[in-house]
Amino acid sequence: MKSFSMIEIGQVGWIEKDKPTAGILDAIVRPLAVSPCTSDIHTAFEGGLGDRHNMTLGHEAVGEIVEVGSEVKDFKPGDRVVVPAITPDWRSIEAQDGYHQHSNKMLSGWKFSNFKDGVFAEYFHVNDADMNLAKLPEEIPLTTAVMITDMMTTGFHGAELANIKIGASVAVIGIGPVGLMAVAGAFLRGAGRIFVVGSRQNCIDVAKSFGATDVINYKNGDIAEQVLNATNGKGVDSVIIAGAGTEIMKSAVKMTKPGGTISNVNYFGEGEIIPIPRIEWGCGMAHKQIRGGLCPGGRLRMERLINIVKYGRVNPGKLVTHVFNGFGNMEKALLLMREKPADLIKPVVIVD
Ligand code: NDP
Ligand code: ZN
């Protein structure tokens, strides 16, 4: 079968691979729609995870099941499914402890295009199908559904980690697709005032539609100063980081109130150290919590997010700005994600 792979750091392309086979609990899925992620760019072009050779890229897909193992109970060939980016080993001590994202090892719940072949191939393997897949309701379009697998769960996790109280002030740094879903998540969690930091107009428009109240352009000077000026020098209760490089932590800490929370869902693809500014962190005594996490995956998480879409709470389909028909466009879509033209939020490739 054909696989769109990271051949080595800096080089991607189509290669031939053996079709995967299902173990007794697993499924083999044929993708119907896929989307490249900024994380694929960090992994393939920046070597964010270290060396990977001939590894199929991609972790955002909805698809059709073509094969299931003998012990799979709830799914059968022909079912259309939402496949979470994170497909943990649910029989692990870490999952039992509440951190399925790190089942067996740090970040190991993230298997696709990290510890095993990803979803940009004619077929891909899903471990523990009953625990990791969710049925795709008829009424949700494929392009919208593929946004649930990673963008929605990640952005919402940013809001979950941010300890948002009803009426609280929140700043979302970065309003690419992840940050936009964090805005929607902060709104659902009851934020009163939501600052967003970005520069591209189409992202700002979507951010406002998801509940942003104040827009800060990082190209117009220090973003922490801008947020402090707008809040009588107090700062915000919660900051969600969903963009920029490691230096952004300095701004995030600076614009957070004492007792506030900094929530990071960025994948810092480069650099050795993430700097915490000493004075703004109260010389270590400001009670400003810094948290960060990989998005939750698995079946229950997907089913809950599907409900949010199905019952009209949030429409993640707004993120999709470019739709390509045909798997042959995979490279074009991935490179768009690298170039980030002004009109792009997320591209989707319809496979057939
Ligand atoms: P994008 O690159 O599309 O968006 C980045 C955003 O950050 C843009 O709004 C950009 O603004 C803004 N930005 C860039 N530089 C700065 C700066 N110096 N100061 C302030 N804002 C800045 O990324 P995605 O939304 O696709 O992804 C965000 C991050 O989330 C990535 O690192 C990705 O790898 C990671 N990720 C993490 C996951 C997890 O589980 N934790 C899962 C999925 C993704 P503008 O465009 O206006 O210039
Ligand atoms: Zn991703």
Ligand 1 lined by 200 (C-beta under 6 Å): yes
Q: Do 238 and 276 fall into the same domain?
A: yes
Q: Is 28 in the pocket of ligand 1 (CB under 6 A)?
A: no
| ∠ Cα 94 134 95 (to 5°) | 5
Print the SS3 string covering the chain.
Answer: CEEEEEEECCEEEEEECCCCCCCCCCEEEEEEEECCCHHHHHHHHHCCCCCCCCEECCCCEEEEEEEECCCCCCCCCCCEEEECCCCCCCCCHHHHCCCHHHCCCCCCCCCECCCECCCCECCEEECCHHHHCEECCCCCCHHHHHHHHHHHHHHHHHHHHCCCCCCCEEEEECCCHHHHHHHHHHHHCCCCEEEEEECCHHHHHHHHHHCCCEEEEHHHCCHHHHHHHHCCCCCEEEEEECCCCCCHHHHHHHCEEEEEEEEECCCCCCCCCCCCCCCCCHHHCCCCEEEECCCCCCHHHHHHHHHHHHCCCCCHHHHEEEEEECHHHHHHHHHHHHHCCCCCCEEEEECC
Q: What is the pLDDT of residue 352?
A: 81
Give CA–CA dist 205/197, Å, rounded. Answer: 12
Same domain membership, residue 313 and residue 261: no
Pocket of ligand 1 contains residue 37 by CB under 6 Å: yes
Atom 21 of ligand 1, residue of closest alpha carbon: 174
Same domain, 53 and 137: yes
Are 167 and 236 contained in the same domain?
yes
Task: Answer yes or no: do 24 and 112 share one domain.
Answer: yes
Give the Å distance between the CA of 71 and the centre of ligand 1: 40
Question: What pLDDT is attached to residue 100?
Answer: 98
Q: Which ligand is nearest to the CA of 59?
A: 2
Query: What is the residue type of 345?
Result: I
- The pLDDT tens digits along the chain (352 residues) read 999 999 999 999 999 999 999 999 999 999 999 999 999 999 999 998 999 999 999 999 999 999 999 999 999 999 999 999 999 999 999 999 999 999 999 999 999 999 999 999 999 999 999 999 999 999 999 999 999 999 999 999 999 999 999 999 999 999 999 999 999 999 999 999 999 999 999 999 999 999 999 999 999 999 999 999 999 999 999 999 999 999 999 999 999 999 999 999 999 988 899 999 999 999 999 999 999 999 999 999 999 999 999 999 999 999 999 999 999 999 999 999 999 999 999 999 999 8
- Domain containing 217 — which CATH number? 3.40.50.720
Residue nearest (by alpha carbon) to ligand 1 atom 5: 243
CA-closest candidate to residue 37, choices 182, 183, 146:
146
Residue 25 in contact with ligand 1 by CB distance below 6 A: no
Whether 217 and 118 map to the same domain: the answer is no
Residues 303, 211, single domain; the answer is no
Ligand 1 in reach of 244 Cβ (< 6 A): yes
Query: In the listed set 277, 292, 307, which residue is the last one of a domain according to the structure?
Result: 292
Q: Is the CB of 243 under 6 A from ligand 1?
A: yes
Structural domains in the chain (count): 2
Cα separation, 11 vs 342, in Å, equals: 25
Nearest protein CA to atom 48 of ligand 1, as residue: 199
Closest CA to 50 of 124, 98, 117, 115: 115
176/75 same-domain check: no
Query: In terms of domains, do 282 and 341 share one?
Result: no
CA distances from 226 to 186, 196, 222, 237 (A): 20, 11, 6, 15
Q: Determine the Cα–Cα distance for residues 31 and 60; give it in Å rounded to an integer.
A: 10
Phi, psi of 110 (to 5 degrees): -90, 95
CA distances from 55 to 46, 52, 76 (A): 15, 6, 27
Cα–chain center distance at 89: 19
For ligand 1, is residue 227 a contact (CB within 6 Å)? Answer: no
Shared domain for 171 and 121, answered yes or no, is no
- Ligand 2: centre distance to CA 319 (Å): 14
Ligand 1 atom closest to residue 293's alpha carbon, by position in its atom list: 41
Of 38, 111, 335, the one to substitute when testing ligand 1's pocket (max ligand atoms within 8 A of C-beta) is 38
Which of these three, 246, 261, 292, is where a domain ends? Answer: 292
**Backbone φ, ψ for residue 35 (5° rounding):** -140, 135
Q: Which atom of ligand 1 is nearest to the CA of 247?
A: 18
Q: Is 266 in the pocket of ligand 1 (CB under 6 A)?
A: yes
Q: Which domain holds residue 254?
A: 154-292
Same domain, 227 and 237: yes
CA 239 vs. chain centroid, Å, equals: 17
Task: Give the residue from 223, 83, 237, 239 showing the smallest Cα distance to 147.
Answer: 83
Q: Measured from the CB, is residue 114 less than 6 Å from ligand 1?
A: no
Strand 320-325 to 80-83 pairing: unpaired
CATH number, domain with residue 31? 3.90.180.10
Q: Is 173 in the pocket of ligand 1 (CB under 6 A)?
A: yes
Q: Which ligand is nearest to the CA of 297?
A: 1
Q: Could you give the C-alpha distances from 287 to 159, 222, 273, in angstroms and in order?
A: 19, 23, 21
Q: For residue 28, how far is the Cα from the chain centroid?
A: 23
Q: What's the gap in Å between 225 CA and the centre of ligand 2? A: 31
pLDDT at 270: 85
Residues 286 and 330 in one domain: no
Tell which of 267, 292, 317 closes a domain. 292
Alpha-carbon distances of 102 from 107, 128, 157, 257, 295, rounded to whole Å: 5, 16, 15, 30, 11
Distance (Å, whole) CA 192 – CA 128: 40
